Homo-oligomer: A and B are copies of this chain.
Amino acid sequence: MSEKARVIFQPSGRRGEVQKGISIIEASRQLGVDIETLCGEKRVCGKCKIRIEEGYFEKFGIRSSRDHVSEWQQEEEKFISPEQREAGYRLGCCAEIQGDLLVFVPEESRAGKQVVSKAARDIPIEWDPAVKYYCVEVQEPTFDRPTGDLERLLEQLSEGHGLNDLTIDYPCLKSLSDRLREAGGKVTAAVWMDKEIIQILAGEHTDSYGLAVDVGTTTVAAYLCNLATMEVVDTVSMMNPQCKYGEDVMSRITYHMMHDDGLTKMHDDIIEGINGLIAQACKATHRAAEPHQAKANEDGEATESKADGDYPCLTPTDIMDMTIVGNTAMHHILLKLNPEYMGVAPFPPVIHRSVDIKARDMGIGINESAYVHVLPNEAGFVGADNVGVLIAEEPYKADEMQLIIDIGTNGELVLGNKDKLISSSCATGPAFEGAQITFGMRAAPGAIERIRIEPDTLEVDYKVIGRDAWRSYSKPEEMGAKGICGSGIFDVLAELYRSGVVLKSGRFNPQQQSNRFRRNDEDNQPEFVIAWAAETSIGKDIVITQKDVRQIQLAKGALYSGCKLMMRRLGIESVDVVKIAGAFGTHVDREKALIMGLFPDCEIEKITSVGNAAGDGARAALLNRGKREEARWISRNVEYIELTVEKDFQQQFMEAMQIPHMTDEFPHLTGIVAVGRLHQKKQINCIDEALPHV
């Protein structure tokens, strides 16, 4: 019997031979088919539902059968109804391939291309990059002084620029003698940290380039910068390719622990991903240039003229420096450091301090002599990304008490001012990024990103990614909604509460009359319809279930209780400023954030979104070497609080899951909360109080 099976995925049509015994998800990876696997194949998310087609498919010459996969698993029952099972549905992570297969991937299981928003902000950075260019004219050797090429170069760098005790990187040394003779001794040397020559170019050059990278659990963003002008030449981003192994940091660590080659796979994927971003960023430098013109050279062969314009097309070898931030888990996987022990109390990382690693040693495809500077970690999961946030926002220089919330799959919190800073992390979980929500999805086209609920009619208006017009200005069939992404999920709880659909405890108000409110056929649980089937591309109603609301409450509760515990540590009752960071942070409606109680009360004008501050920090460290020293210092001087070991953590967390009243605790809610809230207050507060606690 053959060891291989032929597998075809529809509708993409991707096909190939795979080893028998692997899961359908593994086969989809090998054949380049994107299937959602938010939980990292832990059989808990149910996102990887696929259908096995039956019969002989002449076009492909294969016979596909449900008997060609391993038997039904108990875990699948949770996600696949008896009807679906009858129709051939399985979970891709459970079904192992035992013979030829035609696999249909339904739209809701397809992982779309995420729309990311991690644009660079305009933060003040003083020019002092780690890599600088120096142009010198090197004398020819004479019989009296037949000095070596390097020694003559070093002499000029010392005399002309005060650079002493320089070393030279080996690949660079190899090119030295030829470069020196190409332009009559005039060369430009790239010097790293006033220590090491990492590039020799013939003639005079001024523009050099660097890349600042933010490796998020879900999104990776990179800023290509001109090191001479500090300009951001291009911003590129992508999904973290490790998402296929699990959505959050713990599931990645688990993937490593469950698979011998887990770390290698995840490491290789992120390196390959970053290299893809590098190529993409360089390619994009064409954009500012004139279109290419083909012309014939003297030999009659067609040749491309050099691109003109502001930025000639860069190549990855033009990138001479790189900085990287990421949470501790992303940091460890990126560096292929064992993340296992970091996941177990007392959560020690392999390394706190920053590292400078040759790009070639990391397999990063920029100039081989360039260094990759990975910023230091704080403690626990609060890693180099938070250090990036700190050096971008500089709360350690402020008088006012700042609370900085970096909302990602892992939430990171910083509280304090110039006197003292503390940090902690909280497992917000992936709910805000669309995972573990029935119709949650990534921010891809078709995702509902904004929601409004009319308190009186409970009519829902919404907007999807990829379409400018809101639902109320569109025909139903124009919407093509597919699910709800992070910012939509963020809106939904505040709107459901404001309009009185859910109560303070998070429970659905059982007394409402809306036709959107109903009980699920299967488990009799309450749910609320956001988009009717006719407005979707998946042919069914998009709903928010009671369980979904609970997931959102868990996420917001984790953040809120984290903030409160930290405030208690510092002995303060209120904060002066709240900064919301993270790719997600840019989409947050600060009023709604206050309504749902994402963080402690604060004047609404003092709540600001600071965008991808972690990425900004990486950029600051790229363009100013003093920021690297500042990062070293602050990473050692911010006090890390392990929230989970606080004595009443559990209690605080449970209380924080509630949606806040306009109490003394939230004076600033007054005036923000609209009619709906008052409406609700009048009507249903009494009912809510009567309900048992979650």
Residues of A with Cβ closer than 8 Å to B?
Answer: 141-143, 146-152, 170-171, 173-174, 176-178, 181, 335-338, 340-341, 345-353, 355, 357-358, 360-362, 377, 379-380, 640, 642, 645
Contact A151–B353 (Cβ < 8 Å) = yes
A344 to chain B, nearest CB (A): 10
Contact B361–A171 (Cβ < 8 Å) = yes
Contact A355–B173 (Cβ < 8 Å) = yes
Contact A352–B147 (Cβ < 8 Å) = yes
How many identical subunits does the complex contain?
2
Contact B346–A173 (Cβ < 8 Å) = no
Interface centre among A141, A143, A146, A341 (most CB of B within 10 A): A146
Contact A350–B149 (Cβ < 8 Å) = yes
Q: Give bound CA distance, A239 to B76, whole Å.
A: 68
Q: Give bound CA distance, A456 to B341, whole Å.
A: 87
Contact B341–A177 (Cβ < 8 Å) = yes
A175 to chain B, nearest CB (A): 9
Q: Give bound CA distance, A353 to B171, whole Å.
A: 16
Q: Give bound CA distance, A361 to B351, whole Å.
A: 25
A172 to chain B, nearest CB (A): 11
Q: Give bound CA distance, A331 to B338, whole Å.
A: 40
User: Within 8 Å CB of A379, what residues of B?
Assistant: 146
Contact B352–A177 (Cβ < 8 Å) = no
Closest to A345 in B: B143
Contact A174–B336 (Cβ < 8 Å) = yes
Q: Give bound CA distance, A642 to B146, whole Å.
A: 10
Q: Give bound CA distance, A380 to B645, whole Å.
A: 69
* Cross-interface CB contact of A149 among B171, B181, B351, cutoff 8 Å: B351
* Cross-interface CB contact of A335 among B174, B351, B355, B645, cutoff 8 Å: B174
A265 to chain B, nearest CB (A): 15
Beyond A150-B350, A177-B341, 14 extra complex contacts between A and B, CB < 8 Å: A141-B348, A143-B345, A148-B349, A148-B351, A148-B352, A148-B353, A149-B349, A150-B351, A151-B353, A170-B357, A173-B351, A174-B337, A176-B351, A177-B350
A495 to chain B, nearest CB (A): 40
What are 23 A-B interface contacts by the 8 Å CB criterion?
A141-B346, A143-B346, A146-B348, A146-B640, A146-B642, A148-B349, A148-B350, A148-B351, A149-B341, A149-B348, A149-B350, A150-B351, A150-B352, A151-B351, A170-B361, A173-B335, A174-B335, A174-B336, A176-B350, A177-B337, A177-B341, A177-B350, A360-B361
Q: Give bound CA distance, A467 to B270, whole Å.
A: 64
Closest to A174 in B: B336
* Cross-interface CB contact of A148 among B150, B340, B348, cutoff 8 Å: B348
Closest to A341 in B: B177
Contact B380–A146 (Cβ < 8 Å) = yes
Interface centre among A341, A345, A357, A645 (most CB of B within 10 A): A341
* Cross-interface CB contact of A338 among B177, B349, B361, cutoff 8 Å: B177
Q: Give bound CA distance, A85 to B282, whole Å.
A: 62
Closest to A349 in B: B148
A298 to chain B, nearest CB (A): 23
Contact B142–A346 (Cβ < 8 Å) = yes
Contact A147–B348 (Cβ < 8 Å) = yes
Q: Give bound CA distance, A639 to B244, whole Å.
A: 65
User: Within 8 Å CB of A181, what residues of B?
Assistant: 341
Closest to A380 in B: B146
Q: Give bound CA distance, A479 to B450, whole Å.
A: 99
Closest to A356 in B: B167
Q: Give bound CA distance, A147 to B149, whole Å.
A: 46
Closest to A636 in B: B151
User: Within 8 Å CB of A349, what residues of B?
Assistant: 148-149
A140 to chain B, nearest CB (A): 8
Contact A148–B377 (Cβ < 8 Å) = yes
